[in-house]
């Protein structure tokens, strides 16, 4: 067989079979396994359930682990807080608040939808 590039690192290698896309380096194999696990978590309900049960079992066997981890790694904990803040903001933007009225203006050629937030006070005139 001829050499093919690794999907992870881009280095050329000789595959053992036609379906081999990742090289034999440990980093490439970790990337292959991580990609496979992401795929299984998205597509296989039983696998996802078993992973959740396994994670819950581990959490019960190791109480206080995450508290100690955050205390030992304050920079990682702060990074996670920042990223969680961004994720929360993104989720708030996609989940529409039912208390916010929506105004829709329709024309023959286009549709405009305006969401009015809770803090809306009406049009203000600039003089």
Q: Are strands 12-13 and 4-5 parallel, antiparallel or unpaired?
A: antiparallel
Express each pLDDT in 62-99 by its tens digit: 999 999 999 999 999 999 999 999 999 888 876 555 55
The tens digit of pLDDT for each residue in 18-69 reads 999 999 999 999 999 999 999 999 999 999 999 999 999 999 999 999 999 9
CA distances from 39 to 43, 59, 71, 100, 109 (A): 6, 24, 33, 37, 41
Task: Please report the pLDDT score of residue 115 as a whole number.
Answer: 63
First-last CA distance in the chain: 77
Instruction: Report the b/e string of 60-92 with b at 16+ CB within 10 A.
Output: eeeeeeeeeeeeeeeeeeeeeeeeeeeeeeeee
Please answer whether residues 7 and 23 qualify as being in contact, where contact means their C-beta atoms are separated by less than 8 angstroms: no
Only one residue has tokens 């990742």, namely 22
Q: Are 79 and 70 in contact (CB under 8 A)?
A: no
Eight-class DSSP state of 111: E
Alpha-carbon span 121 to 118, nearest angstrom: 9
């Amino acid at each position: 067989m001829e050499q093919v590039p690794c999907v992870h690192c881009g280095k050329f290698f000789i595959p053992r079979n036609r379906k081999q896309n990742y090289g034999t380096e440990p980093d490439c194999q970790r990337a292959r396994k991580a990609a496979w696990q992401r795929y299984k978590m998205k597509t296989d309900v039983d696998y996802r359930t078993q992973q959740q049960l396994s994670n819950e079992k581990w959490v019960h066997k190791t109480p206080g682990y995450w508290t100690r981890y955050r205390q030992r790694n304050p920079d990682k904990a702060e990074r996670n807080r920042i990223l969680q803040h961004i994720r929360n903001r993104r989720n708030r933007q996609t989940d529409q608040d039912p208390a916010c009225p929506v105004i829709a203006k329709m024309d023959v050629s286009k549709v405009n939808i305006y969401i009015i937030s809770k803090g809306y006070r009406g049009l203000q005139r600039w003089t």
